Amino acid sequence: MLRKITTVIASAGLLFGLAACGGSGNDAGTLTVGATSVPHAEILTHVKNDLAAKAGLKLEIKEFSNYEQLNPALNDGQLDANYFQHRPYLDESNQKTGQKLVFAGGVHLEPLGVYSKKVAKLQDLPRGATVALPSDPSNQARALRLLATGGLVTLKADAGETATEKDVTGNPKEIRFRPADAAALPRQLADVDAAVINGNYALEGGLTPAEDALVTESAQGNPYVNGLVTKAETKDDPQVRKLVELLTGPEVKKFIEEKYQGSVLPAA
């Protein structure tokens, strides 16, 4: 919950509660945003250090190593916003938990990539190879579609953002899929023939998606843009709007392009 500021006007004998959510005392409040470390917290830190003060925004960043804790922390008021997820993951989370969190603005895309320490090309994977995938449904569907794009499997024509292994209609190499926690996939890479890894976890694991991935997602028309998420009642709060404006502005776009060199892409 955004901090409330109470101003006492003695001459009038009145007490005014100026709430940071939608109140006229917004600039005096602090916006607390939870994020995973790379690249989300790094991008927020750039905003905090180089852009926020000039924009009249006070920003506190809380880093989480477990992304599954971020939506509960936002929902129960520990955070004012979070920055780690794409819209399909948010939709899935809301449906599963009954929460009503909303997407406030898209910031960047982390291209999902297929990585291997054993082969140099996707088609060089042997028959019966083990490929690790993210275990959460939205990213697992995304991973299967990437493997289909790479020609490794084929999916049902109507398999969309909810695709599962049951939607695999062609698997000529008899690939065995191993679902695992997305954050753990870089550590498991040596134990499997290949792994489909989210861009942020690839970066954290010392991989360079633009150079190391056998195949990556295209940014064009991609629904998996990561963005700022809030509660519905705070989406239009002036501080939240200000942060979205900064995160989607030219300074942050330049920062993303220069720092990540194609491993993270600006949303626009």
Examine the fold and report which residue of 216, 232, 254 is the final residue of a domain before the chain moves on. Answer: 216
Listed residue (43, 1, 40, 3) closest to 199, CA to CA: 40
Residue 120 sits in the same domain as residue 105: no
In the three-class reduction of DSSP (H, G, I as helix; E, B as strand; rest coil), residue 262 is classed as coil
Strand 226-231 and strand 130-134: the pairing is unpaired
Q: Give the separation between CA 152 and CA 249, rounded to whole angstroms.
A: 38
Residue 158: which domain range?
113-216
- The pLDDT, as a whole number, for residue 256 is 96
In a domain, 164, yes or no: yes
**pTM of the predicted model as reported, rounded to 2 decimal places:** 0.77
Residues 168 and 41 placed together within one structural domain of the fold: no
The confidence score (pLDDT) of residue 26 equals 38
pLDDT number for residue 19: 38
Closest CA to 26 of 58, 60, 61: 58
Whether residue 165 is found in the same domain as residue 230? no
CB 160 within 8 A of CB 141: yes
CA max distance for the chain: 82
Domain count, the chain: 2
The C-alpha R_g of the chain, in whole angstroms, comes to: 21
CA angle 181, 243, 16 (to 5 degrees): 120
pLDDT at position 162 is 85
**Residue 4 domain flag:** no
241, part of any domain: yes
| Distance, CA of 143 to CA of 13 (rounded, Å) | 62
Query: What CATH number should be reported for the domain holding residue 238?
Result: 3.40.190.10
The reply to whether 229 and 212 lie within a common domain is no
In a domain, 6, yes or no: no
Q: Cα-flanking dihedrals φ and ψ of residue 188, to 5°?
A: -90, -5
The Cα–Cα gap between 89 and 93 comes to 6
> Using an 8 Å Cβ cutoff, are 92 and 136 in contact?
yes
Residue 10's pLDDT is 31
pLDDT at 117: 97
- For 80-149, the DSSP string reads SEEEEEEHHHHHHHHHHH---EEEEEEEEE---EEE-SS-SSGGGPPTT-EEEEESSHHHHHHHHHHHHH
Shared-domain flag, residues 129 and 100: no
Tens of each residue's pLDDT in the chain, 268 residues: 444 333 333 333 322 222 344 333 334 489 999 999 999 999 999 999 999 999 999 999 999 999 999 999 999 999 999 999 999 999 999 999 999 999 999 999 988 999 999 999 999 999 999 999 999 998 999 999 999 999 999 999 998 888 999 999 999 999 999 999 999 999 999 999 999 999 888 988 999 888 999 999 887 778 899 999 999 999 999 999 999 999 999 999 999 999 998 889 998 6
Residues 80 and 210 in one domain: no
CB 185 within 8 A of CB 201: yes
pLDDT of residue 261: 86
User: Are residues 208 and 117 located together in one domain of the fold?
Assistant: yes
Task: Report the pLDDT value the prediction gives residue 85, as an integer from 0 to 100.
Answer: 96
Claim to verify: residue 75 and residue 117 sit in the same structural domain:
no
Residue 3 tokens read as 């901090």
Instruction: State phi, psi for 24 to the nearest 5 degrees.
Output: -75, -5
